[in-house]
Structure 1
Amino acid sequence: MRPRIVVVGLGGVGAGYGSMLLDAGEDLGVVADAGRAARYAAQPTVVNGRPYDFPLAAPDDGPADVAIVAVKRGALAEAIELLRPHVGAGTVVLSLLNGIDSEDELSAAFPQAVVLLAMSVGIDAVRSGREVRFSSLGRIVFGEPANPGPRAAEVERVAAILRRAGIAHEVPADMVHELWWKFLINVGVNQVSAVIGAPYRVLQQRDQPARAVMIAAQREVIAVANASGVRLTEADLERWLDVLDGLGPDNYTSMAQDALAGRPTEVDSFAGTVVELGRRTGVPVPVNTVLHGLLKGQEAVAAVATRG
């Protein structure tokens, strides 16, 4: 019998990986509140032109073997409440949220579960309504802080699922470093693309001033990481720029999509966190301070427009 998997969040990440799990015949159910469940039932999710009727997970189904969290950071508290009936002793929780702190919140909410560190890298999925499209799903990087560790069996359980589904994945020796590397990525590309409302192609151009701002914001992450005991270097920045070159030039980051749609963004998890880390460590972070102010101002303007 294949393990039971639940996923909360059917945006670009959840629908993209969820479609591959369904195609592989995995026992997958989507966790949703009543309103979203009704919308999912009324209209299929279309992934790269193909409709998917994602099965819904019922609260009385009992604990799942694996729970995948694929919501935005601002929806994490709600996702935790929705997941409670589905998380039991030994459930492996995989958080694909951006940022560096969602696993702490999940561990506090589910002490009986095995919460692994995780992230997705290189995914360029775009969601519009019930439709998701992508040219790359990148890979899922996950594991314990150091691998192999005491939860190696649970890590392998997840790896086996991903192998069957053909989802590219990696279990690095130093997962903490990888999580901070993804944080470096998001702080730069997500925030700058959200401010200028541009697709990847603008930031892929070497002579674009916006690319220089992205890199400057990411160098501040390197500085606060080092001051916090995490060893990031310029090599990590170059590694990101190689990934950037391979992303669909006409696709948008999730944060740019949110900003263009007038939705709240994840700025507090990105620039907000960098500013707080800079305060704690005494590291100057002027670029992220400006990005935080611009993006919060952008949110305020959108909120007024919505009320009007």
Structure 2
Amino acid sequence: MTATAADPVAVVGAGAVGSTLAAGLAEAGHPVVVCGGTPLDAITLTDHRGTHRYPVRWAERPGDLPQVRWVLLATKIHQTPSVLSWLSALAGPDSHVIAAQNGVDHRDRLSPVVDGAVAPALVYINAERTAPGTVRARFTERELVLPDDEAGRAAASLFGDTWVRAEVVADFRTAAWRKLLTNATANPITALTGRRIEVLRESVVAELATGVLREAVAVGRAEGATLPDECVEQTLRWLQDLQPGSTSSMLQDRLAGRALEYEGLTGTIVRLADRHAVPVPANRALLALLSALEPGSGRSG
């Protein structure tokens, strides 16, 4: 399946990432429908080019829309169960669901509940939602990474006429683990300290981040990802070199009083470490501290 500029796109999860990608699609001429949440008639995006406003439609309930060819899922991992009714209503056998989520198990999570193809997508844009429908985007050297298979190539075609650079990679397992390295380092540390990415430049914090990364690399290798030793330093340096003021989704959620995505990030590393008997004391400590931020979360042991 190849996208055309007239194809409508249903966006499930109009947070920082969802709104940023939706703005890119709307700018290229795609009719964008935001599903649920706060009523929106436009998305305002600020980036290095300035501030631009893109009209969108809003659908209140799953029954308000027919099935569509393209569904962009951009919720946090732990929010996915709450939008299954949208996915069931929107995605038919000929649909493509682009899962712009964190983690390394997109298809394992979604394929059993989605009627259609699932294209996992790794988002590298540093997006910050400042109000409903209002986002600021800070760009890095890449924007969207997809698997080099039929579903991934189809999803890449959807962004072909946008400023979102969509690339496909053959070894998506490794790509997903490299992305998880950044997420499972920056998100917990910024959320726990209440500070933006610059905190990783401080020597004592960088030392902690290095330990977290070494453990995650060991787990990723056990899962079959190709992660050389140097990717620890490369990942930390990449995070330290992000634009000043860059934030993390988990820090944004903590400041807004929302539930945190730690189970899908640090929790995944700890769970898979237990499967392979890989010691991960630094990640286990972060997981305990993150769960303590949410009394009554039910985590124990």
Q: State the TM-score bracket (shorter-chain normalisation).
A: 0.7 to 0.9
The amino acid of 1:47's aligned partner reads L
Contact 1:124 / 1:248 at 8 angstroms: preserved in 2? no
Q: Superposed, which structure 2 residues align to 1:1-308 within 5 Å? A: 2-32=6-36, 36-37=37-38, 39-41=39-41, 44-48=42-46, 49-57=51-59, 59=63, 61-110=65-114, 112-121=115-124, 123-130=125-132, 131-136=134-139, 138-143=142-147, 147=148, 149=149, 151=150, 154-203=151-200, 205=201, 207-300=202-295
* AA partner of residue 208 (structure 2): V
Shift of 1:46: 2.8
Distance in structure 2 (CA, Å) of the matches to 1:85 and 1:11: 21
Residue 234 (structure 1) shift: 2.2
Shift of 1:242: 4.6
**Higher fraction of helix:** 1
Normalization by structure 2: what TM-score? 0.87
Q: Which runs of 5 or more residues in structure 2 are unaligned?
A: none
| In 2: Cα distance, 1:298 partner to 1:263 partner | 11
Structure 1 residues 54 and 277, CA gap change in structure 2 (3 angstroms): same
Once the two structures are TM-superposed, the CA of residue 83 in structure 1 deviates from its matched residue by 2.0
Identity, % of aligned positions: 28
Asked whether the equivalents of residues 209 and 236 of structure 2 are also in contact (C-alpha less than 8 Å), the reply is no
Higher-strand-fraction structure: 2
CA distance in 1 between counterparts of 2:258 and 2:174 reads: 30
CA contact (8 A) 2:77 2:264 kept: yes
Equivalent residue, structure 2, for 1:306? none
Checking the alignment, whether the CA contact within 8 Å between 2:44 and 2:54 is kept in structure 1 is yes
Q: Deviations over 1:113-166 (max 9, x none)?
A: 111222112x211112222112227411012xxx3x4x2xx4333222212012
Work out the CA distance in 2 between the residues paired with 1:30 and 1:201: 33
Q: Which 4+ runs in 1 deviate beyond 4 A? A: none
- Structure 2: which amino acid aligns with 1:128? T
Report the Cα offset of residue 239 of structure 1: 3.7
Deviation, 1:18, is 0.7
The 2-side partners of 1:80 and 1:102 are apart by: 14
Deviates more, 1:278-287 or 1:234-243: 234-243
Q: Partners of 1:92 and 1:126 in 2: how far apart?
A: 26
CA-based RMSD: 2.2
CA contact 1:3–1:65 (8 Å) conserved in 2? yes
In 1, Cα distance between equivalents of 2:109 and 2:296: 30
The 8 Å contact of residues 31 and 83 in structure 1, kept in 2 or not, is answered as no
Cα distance in 2 between the residues matched to 1:56 and 1:261: 23
Local SS of the residue matching 1:90: strand
In structure 2, give the amino acid aligned to 1:107: S
Distance (whole Å) between structure 2 residues aligned to residue 186 and residue 201 of structure 1? 15
Matched letter for residue 119 of structure 2: L
Describe the superposition over 1:254-287 as per-residue Cα deviations: whole angstroms up to 9, x where unpaired: 1111122332211111221222112111111000
Q: Supply the distance in 1 between the matched residues of 2:8 and 2:44 (Cα, whole angstroms).
A: 23
Query: Kindly tell me: are residues 299 and 238 of structure 1, through their superposed partners in 2, closer, same or farther at Cα, counting changes over 3 Å?
Result: same
The aligned length equals 285
Unaligned runs of 5+ in 1: 303-308
Where 2:138 maps in the other structure, the secondary structure is coil
Q: CA deviation at 1:53?
A: 3.5
CA offset at residue 210 of structure 1?
Answer: 1.1
